[in-house]
Amino acid sequence: MSHEFLPCSYASLCSGCDWLLKPASEQRVLKLEAFKTIWGNHFGTLDQLPKDLHWVPTTLGASRDRVDLMIDCRSGSQKIGLFDRFRTGLVDLQGCPQLSPALEAWFKEFKAFEFPIQRGSVRLRVAPDGTKGAWLDFANVDVKTLLDERTTLDRLRQVAIVEIGQRRKRLVEKEGRLKLEDPILEPWFETTGFDGQKIRLYSTIGTFTQPGFVVNDKLVREVLTTLETVPFTRVAEFGSGIGNFTLPLALKADHVDAYEIDTLALEGLKRTLNEQKVEAKVTIRSGNYQGDKALSLDFSNIDVLFVDPPRSGLMKFLDPLEAMSESSRPRAVLYVSCFAESFAQDAKRLLDMNYKAARVAVVDQFPQSRHFEIVSLFVL
C-alpha cells in the first residue's frame, strides 16, 4: 500500500472519503492550514498559538471497527453503501479499504442478507474480541415487516448481536417469538491507560464511539502524554460518554467528576467503572451541562478541567469558570475537539480568563477526509 494514497475502486464514485484522491502529505498541510485559518478568523493573529503545532498521524486505511451505511431496496434490488458524490443515489459497496480486516469480513457477510424493507440505515461493529454487531435503524413499518417475516432476523441473530431502532432495543427470542427488549451493554470498545494497558468499555452497538481501536489509541495516547505535564489529583470531565478518557483518568487521579447527557452511555460507564473497581473514585453527573444546569457547578477544588464536547462546544459549561477568581480556577484545561470552529470560540473565552495555549495537537483521526481532532492544553 502506498504511503501517500489509499487505493480504492470507488474513489471516483463514493462520497465517503472526500479527500481520498489527495496524497497524505497534502492532507496534512491542508488540515494544519485549515486549523490556523479558523483560529486566525477568531483571533486575527496566530500569536496566541504555540510555535509548533503537533501533528499526530494515524493510519492510512484498515482503521475502522464500526461503519454506518445505508440500505435501499426501492428499485427492486438491494444496495448497501454510501451516497455517491452527487448525492443522487447509493454506491453499492462490495468492500472498503477503510475497514479493519475483521469489519471488512463482517460487512461482506452482512451483504448476503436480503432485507424486505424500503430503506434504512445500519451500523456494523466488531468488538475487540471479534463479536459482531448490527444496529438496524428502520422505519416502524419495516421493522414490523421484518419481525413478521422472521427468517432474515433469525439468520442475522445466529451470527451477530442485533439492535433495532433509536432506542437500541435488543433482538431476542422468547417463547418461540422474536421480541425487542431493553438494551444490553457489551464490551464493544476499548481505551488505553497511562501504562498502556487496554481497558474494555461497555456500550450498545448504537452508542457513539471513536471509529476504530487503532485511531482511538493514537488520540488517547496524545491526551495522556499531554496530561503527564500537568500534576493533578482531582479532575472535572465534561462529555465523559462511555469512559474513553474517564477510565484512564480514574485509574490515576484521586477523583473524577464526570458530566454527560447520554444516560445510556452513562450506564456503560458505570459498568466499566465497576469492573475496574474504581467506581468510588468517580462521581457521575447526568444532565445537559451546556445549558443552565452548568450554573450550579463548582470548580474550586479541581486541578484539571478536561472537556470533550460535541460539535456545538462548551456553551454555558464555561460560565462558572468565568465567574471564579483567577486564583481559584483549575490550573489547566485540556480540551479535545472534533470541530475547530467551536473550539476556537471556547479558546477565546479561555484566553480572556488568562489561560494560554501551552500545547496544541492536530490528530489525523479521520484520514482521507477534511475532518480532524484537536487536543489542546491551556494553563494559567
Active site residues: 338
- As given in the structure block, the three cell numbers for residue 320 are 462558572
Residues whose CB is less than 8 angstroms from the CB of residue 296 and which lie 6 or more positions away in sequence, other chains included:
none
- What's the CA gap between 360 and 50, in Å, rounded? 7
Taken in order 248, 251, 257, 262, the sign of the CA dihedral is positive
Which of 230, 261, 233, 257 lies closest to 246, judged by CA? 257
What distance in Å separates the CA atoms of residue 194 and residue 253, rounded to the nearest whole number?
A: 11
- Calpha distance 63→68 (Å, rounded): 14
d(CA 62, CA 127) in angstroms, rounded, equals 15
CB-CB contact of 169 with 97 (8 Å): no
At residue 14, φ and ψ (nearest 5 deg) are -80, 140
Task: Compute how many other C-beta atoms are within 10 angstroms of the C-beta atom of residue 164.
Answer: 23
d(CA 16, CA 370): 11
Q: Any idea how long the chain is? A: 380
Nearest to 359 by CA among 231, 235, 223: 223
CA distance 173 to 310: 37
Nearest to 18 by CA among 86, 95, 104, 100: 86
How many CB atoms within 10 Å of residue 264?
16
Residues in a beta bridge with 236: 257, 305
3-state secondary structure 194-216: CCCCEEEEEECCCCCCCCCHHHH
